[in-house]
Amino acid sequence: GENVEQHPSTLSVQEGDSAVIKCTYSDSASNYFPWYKQELGKRPQLIIDIRSNVGEKKDQRIAVTLNKTAKHFSLHITETQPEDSAVYFCAAAGRLYFGRGTQLTVWP
């Protein structure tokens, strides 16, 4: 099956700085790559996704880039705010396999 690696496991940034989380996947047939945000004690919520026919997608302060050749994709958060603090999960599909998550902490 698919193997999704996510780095870093923890990330601390100052408010206003950018945060980047990277994921690699193993199955070249994977064609859908979502990112989920999970606040403490809550369910994971989809924040952005990208399909394999697109290299980059942006939604306000959040962007995702995909490199199919290298089989990696990244989440970029600009102008981080304390409310961005959460655990972020990447995933790759067919069947969704998740990375282990990144605990992002944004210090005011």
Partner 1 sequence: GAGVSQSPSNKVTEKGKDVELRCDPISGHTALYWYRQSLGQGLEFLIYFQGNSAPDKSGLPSDRFSAERTGGSVSTLTIQRTQQEDSAVYLCASSLLPLPLHFGNGTRLTVT
CB-count burial class (<10 Å; 0-12, 13-18, 19+) for 1: exposed
Looking at residues 5 to 34 of the shown chain, list those that interact with partner 1 (rule: CB under 8 A): 6, 32, 34
Looking at residues 47 to 76 of the shown chain, list those that interact with partner 1 (rule: CB under 8 A): 49
Residue pair 46/36 in contact by the 8 Å Cβ criterion: yes
Q: Kindly report the CA angle at 71 between 5 and 66, in degrees rounded to 5? A: 100
Residues 6+ positions from 18 with CB-CB distance below 8 Å: 76, 77, 78, 79, 80
Residue pair 91/98 in contact by the 8 Å Cβ criterion: yes
- Looking at beta carbons only, is 50 or 77 nearer to partner 1? 50
What backbone torsions phi and psi does residue 83 show, to the nearest 5 degrees? Answer: -70, -5
Kindly tell me which residue out of 26, 46, 81, 82 binds partner 1, with binding defined by CB under 8 A.
46
Looking at residues 75 to 104 of the shown chain, list those that interact with partner 1 (rule: CB under 8 A): 89, 93, 95-101
If binding is defined by CB under 8 A, does position 1 make contact with partner 1? yes
Smallest distance, Å, CB 67 to partner 1? 20
Kindly tell me which residue out of 45, 55, 67, 107 binds partner 1, with binding defined by CB under 8 A.
45
Contact residues: partner 1, CB under 8 A: 1, 6, 32, 34, 36, 42-46, 49, 89, 93, 95-101
